[in-house]
Copies of this chain bind each other. A is one copy, B any other.
């Protein structure tokens, strides 16, 4: 049997309910269902500490949500780094320091547990922008709300992306600390505050010689996640797409044609329009259906899916529910009315040119008769192996220039290369083993369609395995009403205590596995 489907047993056991900490809240994993391979006497002690710390763990997430660090808005960045450093200190990291960069600072922390192996952890302390008017509860309040089918959740910006899962990992460390039990691996934590703007200075953190040396000694690095589906399933990604986030700006100022500022729209009959110029430049970037990049040479280095990758995607298709996914996304048809399997292959294999936003001239209600002096398209370009960010930027610029759009400015906000991690790496195998032991069906994905700066780790000079791991569930990353479940009413999905114990067991698996 291939390794990619690892449903070992169903943990939907009636008797687990009696272990629920809060009446009416089911707990997914009990002592017997979630055995530790080593030190079996340690498990109940740590779990008891995790349960005792439950309220504090929830409050830790809420307090963190109340301090949003948003790099794009230069909001609470030094404060966010200090806060992150304190969170690490409180969780038992011994050496904790702020790492200055040319942008916003990062945090570096280590915990030497005298273990043979070292595991590295990646945190982001920044969150995505939000518009309070779009939320059903204040995005910084972290209000506890009901999420039907899942249980009670913290609603707030950063709840799932990424403060909730990160704080849940910290909850696991607090539990071990309170139980007087050292983690079975040494830990090293690197955190940045610019993930949401494409990690423009993260290389300055992981590339610092002392940090780099420590990271290179690790088994690999992972980011905590909370991606369990409603049936408990979770994906294990062997990589992620790269990304370039950028703005294309057409302006009278740069163009030397059209107005330098907004002028009365009647003048369109004799004055060129930067907004039309942007539209004309944009439409060359994709096929007429808007679905495939049409930038010169874009596919030169795109590696087709391997047979193994196709096999993994077929398994994902077989083990996820298409109708549910469409409903959750509010989507009736995939591109070209593709069947689910083909859509998933497209998701994994195809680079994209996406419009995140368009801004020009008057954007309020109704109209305003102006000819705008500037027009901006916010784009993200998702990259697949073996594309690189540098290649993408150069090709887009050359494509525009070749068509006479030299004046259309390309302002790159950030980005990173695609990332890949070997299926047989200890970190991936430990993830799979932990999920197996928790009775969670883990599905191997060849590639996350989203992006994370994994290439900072997987590419030289670090060349580390890198992955995502976590139990629990949240949703709404980058959207209103983002949430993270803390009290699960779904026997398939972990609440905060079980998810914290998941990280504890993951540490043991990394220490244990050959």
Question: Quick one: CB contact mask for A267-299 with B, threshold 8 Å, 1 for yes?
Answer: 111111101111110110010111100000000
Question: Quick one: CB contact mask for A353-368 with B, threshold 8 Å, 1 for yes?
Answer: 1111111111111111
Contact partners of A477 in chain B: CB under 8 A: 264
9 new A-B contacts, CB < 8 A, other than A269-B349, A361-B378, are A73-B366, A245-B369, A264-B450, A265-B354, A266-B448, A273-B290, A273-B291, A276-B289, A370-B479
CB distance from A291 to the nearest CB of B (A): 7
CB distance from A92 to the nearest CB of B (A): 33
Chain A to chain B contacts (Cβ below 8 Å), 19 pairs = A72-B367, A129-B368, A198-B367, A260-B330, A263-B331, A266-B451, A268-B353, A268-B382, A269-B349, A269-B382, A272-B289, A275-B358, A276-B289, A278-B358, A357-B362, A357-B370, A361-B378, A368-B478, A369-B451
Task: State whether A357 touches B368 (Cβ < 8 A).
Answer: yes
Number of this chain's copies in the complex: 2
Task: State whether B273 touches A243 (Cβ < 8 A).
Answer: no
Q: Which of B129, B267, B370 contacts A356 (CB 8 A)?
A: B370
Residue A413 at the B interface, CB < 8 A?
Answer: yes
CB distance from A419 to the nearest CB of B (A): 14
Task: State whether A343 touches B261 (Cβ < 8 A).
Answer: no
Categorize the interface residue count of chain A: 35 or more
Task: State whether A290 touches B277 (Cβ < 8 A).
Answer: yes
Alpha-carbon distance A196/B256, docked complex (angstroms): 30
Alpha-carbon distance A450/B451, docked complex (angstroms): 48
Contact partners of A110 in chain B: CB under 8 A: none
Task: State whether B360 touches A358 (Cβ < 8 A).
Answer: yes
Alpha-carbon distance A355/B370, docked complex (angstroms): 8
Contact partners of A450 in chain B: CB under 8 A: 264, 266, 369
Residue A350 at the B interface, CB < 8 A?
Answer: yes
Question: Quick one: CB contact mask for A455-480 with B, threshold 8 Å, 1 for yes?
Answer: 00000000000000000000001110
Residue A449 at the B interface, CB < 8 A?
Answer: yes
Residue A239 at the B interface, CB < 8 A?
Answer: no
Residue A211 at the B interface, CB < 8 A?
Answer: no
CB distance from A153 to the nearest CB of B (A): 19
Residue A6 at the B interface, CB < 8 A?
Answer: no
Residue on B with the closest CB to A362? B357
Q: Which of B270, B335, B346, B354 contacts A344 (CB 8 A)?
A: B270
Residue A151 at the B interface, CB < 8 A?
Answer: no
Q: Which of B258, B275, B290, B347 contacts A267 (CB 8 A)?
A: B347
Q: Which of B247, B290, B365 contacts A367 (CB 8 A)?
A: B247
Task: State whether B367 touches A264 (Cβ < 8 A).
Answer: no
Task: State whether B276 touches A355 (Cβ < 8 A).
Answer: yes
Question: Quick one: CB contact mask for A476-498 with B, threshold 8 Å, 1 for yes?
Answer: 01110000000000000000000
Residue A25 at the B interface, CB < 8 A?
Answer: no
Alpha-carbon distance A72/B288, docked complex (angstroms): 34
Task: State whether B265 touches A380 (Cβ < 8 A).
Answer: yes
Residue A438 at the B interface, CB < 8 A?
Answer: no
Task: State whether A72 touches B247 (Cβ < 8 A).
Answer: no
Task: State whether B261 touches A330 (Cβ < 8 A).
Answer: yes
Contact partners of A350 in chain B: CB under 8 A: 269
CB distance from A349 to the nearest CB of B (A): 8
Binding site secondary structure of chain A: mixed
Q: Which of B129, B263, B331, B347 contacts A329 (CB 8 A)?
A: B263
Interface set of A (CB-CB < 8 Å, partner B): 71-73, 128-129, 196-198, 241, 243, 245-247, 252, 256-273, 275-280, 282-283, 286, 288-291, 329-335, 338, 343-344, 346-373, 375, 378, 380, 382, 413, 448-451, 477-479
Task: State whether B334 touches A270 (Cβ < 8 A).
Answer: yes
Task: State whether B372 touches A273 (Cβ < 8 A).
Answer: no
CB distance from A367 to the nearest CB of B (A): 4
Task: State whether B286 touches A283 (Cβ < 8 A).
Answer: no
Q: A290-B276, A333-B272 are in contact. Are A266 and B449 (CB under 8 A)?
A: yes
Task: State whether B275 touches A362 (Cβ < 8 A).
Answer: no
CB distance from A453 to the nearest CB of B (A): 13
Task: State whether B366 touches A413 (Cβ < 8 A).
Answer: yes
CB distance from A273 to the nearest CB of B (A): 5
Question: Which 4 A-B pairs rank lowest in CB-CB distance, beginning with the nearest?
Answer: A276-B290, A72-B366, A260-B330, A275-B355
Alpha-carbon distance A36/B478, docked complex (angstroms): 70
Residue on B with the closest CB to A414? B367
CB distance from A202 to the nearest CB of B (A): 16
CB distance from A397 to the nearest CB of B (A): 18
Task: State whether A347 touches B128 (Cβ < 8 A).
Answer: no
Alpha-carbon distance A217/B244, docked complex (angstroms): 67
